[in-house]
């Protein structure tokens, strides 16, 4: 009888851990991973082609991006607190660097909620709602966290990534490095 009681705390702990799934929208927050803001830069000879950036936007229009300019791609979701924290920096930099294309990719989110978020913050660049685009980054610098920001060079190759919240300094540094090439 004593042996059964000895394992009771362990069984209770396992039960509590596995039963606390948080409820909510299973397609959004369940496997959320937040990045730490680490910056990766790839030398030009080691870069891989970025996927096509095209599809339906939050505003309901079709969008197709042609490379030729430095491009900043931000992967976000409206429920993501780090995404909300970085949006002022992204908006400011999209206005400062008018020669750089900024594009959002919505992931694991409800488009009407995200569209309200986009309106509330007056995000000036398009957001694509097809997160299957992210699979195209698999061979280079995949979006390994939410948010993730990827920098694409003028030739359409992945040049860098910020995994987690961007800062004005971190994104400015990457934009200027890639723009100077």
pLDDT digit string, tens, across residues 88-108: 999 999 999 999 999 999 998
Query: Could you tell me which of 89, 80, 71 has the C-alpha nearest to residue 35?
Result: 80
Query: Could you tell me which of 93, 83, 143, 148 has the C-alpha nearest to residue 118?
Result: 83
For residue 23, give both structure tokens: 């409820």
| DSSP bridge partners of 44 | none
What is the dotted CATH code of the domain comprising 33-179?
A: 3.40.30.10
Domain boundaries along the sequence of the chain: 33-179
For residue 35, give both structure tokens: 């990045």
Using the predicted structure, report yes or no on whether residue 18 has a pLDDT greater than 80.
no
Contact 171, 94 (CB under 8 A): no
Mean pLDDT of 175-180: 96
- Compare 25 and 3 and report the one with higher pLDDT: 3
**Confidence at residue 131, expressed as pLDDT on a 0 to 100 scale:** 80
- Compare 142 and 96 and report the one with higher pLDDT: 96
Mean pLDDT of 153-180: 94
Mean pLDDT of 133-156: 85
């Amino acid at each position: 009888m004593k042996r059964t009681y000895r394992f009771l705390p362990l069984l209770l702990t396992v039960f509590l851990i596995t039963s606390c799934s948080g409820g909510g929208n299973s397609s959004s927050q369940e496997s959320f991973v937040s990045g730490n803001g680490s910056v990766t830069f790839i030398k030009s000879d080691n870069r891989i082609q970025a996927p096509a950036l095209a599809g339906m936007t939050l505003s309901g229009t079709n969008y197709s991006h042609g490379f030729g300019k430095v491009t900043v791609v931000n992967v976000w979701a409206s429920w993501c607190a780090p995404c909300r924290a970085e949006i002022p920096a992204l908006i400011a930099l999209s206005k400062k660097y008018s020669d750089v294309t900024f594009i959002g990719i919505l992931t694991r989110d409800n488009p009407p909620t995200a569209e309200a978020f986009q309106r509330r913050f007056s995000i000036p660049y398009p957001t694509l709602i097809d997160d299957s685009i992210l699979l195209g980054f698999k061979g280079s610098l995949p979006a390994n966290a939410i948010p993730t920001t990827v920098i694409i060079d003028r030739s359409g190759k992945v040049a860098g990534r910020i995994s987690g919240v961007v800062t004005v300094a971190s994104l400015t540094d990457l934009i200027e490095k890639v723009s100077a090439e």
